[in-house]
Chain A
Amino acid sequence: MRQRTLWPALLVAALTLTGCGSATRPETSSSTGATGGASGAAQGKLVVWDWKSGDKAAAPYIEKAKADFAKQHPGVTVEFVAQPFEQYYTLLGAAIQAGKGPDVILFNGGGQIRDRVDALLPLDEYVSGDRERLAGWDAFSKDGKTYAAPVTLQGHPIYYNRSLYQKAGLDPTKPATTWDKLVGDCAAIKKSTGAACFAVGNKEGFAIQFFMSGLGSGILTPQEYDDWIAGKRDWSSAGVKRIFQLWKDTGESGLNNKGANSTAMFNDAFAVFQSGKAAHVIGLMSDVGHWKDFAEFLPGDQLGVMKAPVVQPGTTPSLAYDGGIGYGVAKWTKDPKLAADLVRSLSSTEALTAFYSSAGAIASDTTIDVSQAGPAVTTIVSDLKGGKPALHVALSSKTLELMGRLSQKLLDGSVSVDEAVRQLAASDKTG
């Protein structure tokens, strides 16, 4: 028996002391792995990596962008390589380590691109002409430099069911502007239609993120809001505590659909909203859970979008959104001007209009005519000007994961608001 334990013990001790080797090798600059689609701008070819071009809904967009680029540079071929999204950043990481790969790269805004700006070319001198026309630049910028041009926008509008408002005798063109009024409207809707106030699916812990970003501008003062985005987050402030208190109260006072903690947001909560079992939902602008998704059951004229209701007097509600996806240029491309021109073609009004109408994304181009799509889209686009970055996007994935778990505990009453905020502050500090 002693022998049996001795060897493993020795092995563990040896491994602990050395701790050598690792599955993910430390970064080296002299790596030589060929990763599909080597840069070849000089030969009149540009390679683009993304996860969208294989998508049927995005095909008209890619075609329009290619045509626009071909007009300016007839001799240059453009090759789109669609990578699977689950592996996209892993593959890209390998290309970056190798120092060669695609010339033009699609990125998610926020952390994904900011972590990789060392491999990218600042685009400020090339895209200055698009500054005014496009929105969502912040998500693709770091330290005052821009690394990609936004294609779509992602954010958290509050959608409401206009026909439920009508049934309850409320004016669907005038949704509540304060929290108290909203609670009153919800009581009226509940009484006449039986529908809950909010469709909430917090099984994955995502609903708190939508709640925080959708309602945050009505809770935090503009100063607090800007500080939060800038990284100066005071978790023990009254405003931040109010967000979590309101989340807890919303659950306890029965404003949510029943069983929120066991309802999946994608797509059970949206189904609850679509089927008229809840009057409001904090949704998305692009990809899924948005106006085009709802359109099957709630056509344009039955779907409304409201600004965040004022919870705390003295706040100015705004739409929470960030740049969704955008194209950047790799540092190693041979002709930066050429690659930047392709980025500009990929964010041209014509191409983005095609993206908006076929995929239903809210494009970054604020000049696109959306009047045909109904009041919800018109409201979203008109709110873009005064919009601000979403609160939860500023948090690390570790803090978001903790926030998801704590939000479930807040709903079932097993943690207090003070304790939740204390844990989140500690997690936010360590990153």
Chain B
Amino acid sequence: MPTRSSSPPARPAAPERAGRAGARWRPPHAGTGTAAGRPSRAARSERLAPFVLVAPAVLILVFLRLYPLVLGVNFSFTGDGDRNGSPVGLDNYVYLFQDPLFRDALGNVGLLVLLLPVAVAIPGLLATFIYLRVPGHRLFRSVYFFPAVLSPVIVGAIFNLLLAYDGPANAVLGAFGLGPVDWLGDPAVAMITVVGVHVWATFGMALVVFLAGFATLNSSLLDAARVDGATLPQTIWHVIIPGLSRTIQFVFVTTMIGMLTSMFGLLYVMTSGGPGGATYLPEFYIWIQQGKMNRPALASAASTVLFLVMLVVGLAQIGLLRRSGRED
């Protein structure tokens, strides 16, 4: 297959690049070494320049990201209410994992991970069609992106109306003789409904990323596949997916993070975590504990768990995709 040729050269390229970079880096060191007798001011400022230049970014990261993170983790080991401020060890974490509601929320995270390939495949497929210039692809490109500019609250409100028990969605089903579905009130359906709406509202962004990825795709490979007589599924599987593996990797991770951290607005508007806690996600749980139950330390313990879950899921995804990319 023509795709084979794309990866082998990548491996030898790495050491070669490192060697070249090293070679280029040496001269300034060598220069200062020989001129050790009279240290020039220019050389010292050149040596300090990189640190000064990265300092703002590093300081912002450390003080506005890492430090609060550590504070939050620290806070999760203290108590709430009567035990406010006193160290309680792992009590908050023990409570979390004994709370069926939090376990449900984690279970729903598992469901999201399972639904993730679908959430990535939809924008991927649609982007492929646009790239392959299906009729009307210009129109579709803008139409698909449109929901991405709406706020989750507005999207939630629109779908609340559409999916109401006596709303238009059920009226359409009724016209086909199908029974009404309680989209947001049936615990077996509600989570899928909300995820579906979330995908609808956000896939435009992933679509744009995919289209950007397509721009880097080597079109001669596609032409070669066409000449070889490959069918559309074969082209997608053997040419497009391997060629876009970095893009897919990126979309996978950002979609997962999006699902875990920015579904709050939709959940709040569409189901309020119900029915019976069926649509709880960790972030909703965090908000309830902090905002309604006045248990900020427990909420930061839950935040820490959510952070770890995302870290593990993200790293696992990158690992998997990297391995599959190599096999291709």
Contact = CB atoms under 8 A, between A and B. Distances in A.
Contacts of A19: 74, 77-78, 86-89
A397 B182 contact: no
Given A16-B77, A203-B271, A262-B184, A401 B292 contact: yes
Interface string B83-103: 011111110000000000100
B276 A415 contact: yes
Given A21-B71, A205-B272, A397-B292, A259 B88 contact: no
A283 B277 CA distance: 25
B85 A26 contact: yes
A12 interface: yes
22 contacts: A11-B70, A15-B77, A21-B75, A21-B78, A22-B75, A23-B296, A24-B85, A24-B296, A203-B184, A205-B272, A205-B274, A259-B166, A261-B186, A262-B163, A262-B164, A263-B185, A397-B294, A406-B276, A408-B187, A409-B187, A411-B275, A412-B186
Nearest to A205: B274
B281 interface: no
Given A19-B89, A398-B293, A415-B276, A24 B74 contact: no
B90 A16 contact: yes
Contact of B165 (A21, A23, A258, A412): A258
A414 interface: yes
Interface in A12-38: 12, 15-16, 18-27
B276 A259 contact: no
A21 B68 CA distance: 13
B185 A22 contact: no
A18 B297 CA distance: 15
B288 to A, nearest CB: 7
A260 interface: yes
A405 interface: yes
Given A11-B70, A259-B164, A259-B185, 15 more contacts: A15-B73, A15-B74, A16-B77, A19-B74, A21-B74, A22-B84, A24-B85, A203-B271, A204-B272, A205-B272, A260-B185, A262-B190, A412-B185, A412-B187, A414-B187
Contacts of A202: 274
B183 interface: yes
Contacts of A204: 272, 274
A412 B186 CA distance: 7
Given A16-B90, A412-B186, A261 B274 contact: yes
A203 B166 contact: no
Interface residues of A, number: 36
A203 B190 CA distance: 12
Contacts of B297: 22
A253 to B, nearest CB: 17
Contacts of A20: 74, 78, 87
Contact of B89 (A11, A16, A260, A415): A16
Interface of A: 11-12, 15-16, 18-27, 202-205, 258-263, 397-398, 401, 404-406, 408-409, 411-412, 414-415
B84 A203 contact: no
Contacts of B275: 203, 261-262, 408-409, 411-412
Contacts of A23: 71, 75, 296
Interface centre among B70, B71, B84, B276 (most CB of A within 10 A): B276
B77 A408 contact: no
A430 B22 CA distance: 65
B65 to A, nearest CB: 15
A63 to B, nearest CB: 35
A90 B190 CA distance: 34
Interface in B152-183: 163-166, 180, 182-183
Contacts of B276: 405-406, 408-409, 412, 414-415
B185 A405 contact: no
A202 B187 CA distance: 14
B272 A262 contact: no
Contacts of A203: 184-185, 271-272, 274-275
Contacts of B187: 408-409, 412, 414
A227 B101 CA distance: 30
Contacts of A411: 275
Nearest to B74: A15
A261 B87 CA distance: 40
A169 B44 CA distance: 98
Contacts of A258: 165-166, 180
Contacts of A401: 288, 292-293
Interface centre among B77, B90, B288 (most CB of A within 10 A): B77
A262 to B, nearest CB: 3
B275 to A, nearest CB: 4
Contacts of A408: 187, 274-276
A21 B276 CA distance: 36
A103 to B, nearest CB: 27
Contacts of B74: 15, 18-21
Nearest to B80: A24
B87 to A, nearest CB: 3
Q: Which 6 A-B pairs have the closest CB atoms?
A: A259-B165, A19-B87, A262-B185, A261-B185, A19-B77, A409-B276
Interface centre among A205, A262, A404 (most CB of B within 10 A): A262
A93 B84 CA distance: 15
Interface in B185-218: 185-187, 190
Given A19-B78, A408-B275, A412-B187, A262 B87 contact: no
Contacts of B180: 258
Contacts of B165: 258-259, 262-263
Contacts of A25: 85
B97 to A, nearest CB: 15
Contacts of A263: 164-165, 185
Interface in B266-297: 271-277, 288, 292-294, 296-297
Contacts of A22: 75, 78, 84-85, 297
B193 to A, nearest CB: 10
A331 B142 CA distance: 63
A308 B192 CA distance: 39
A199 to B, nearest CB: 13
A258 B87 CA distance: 49
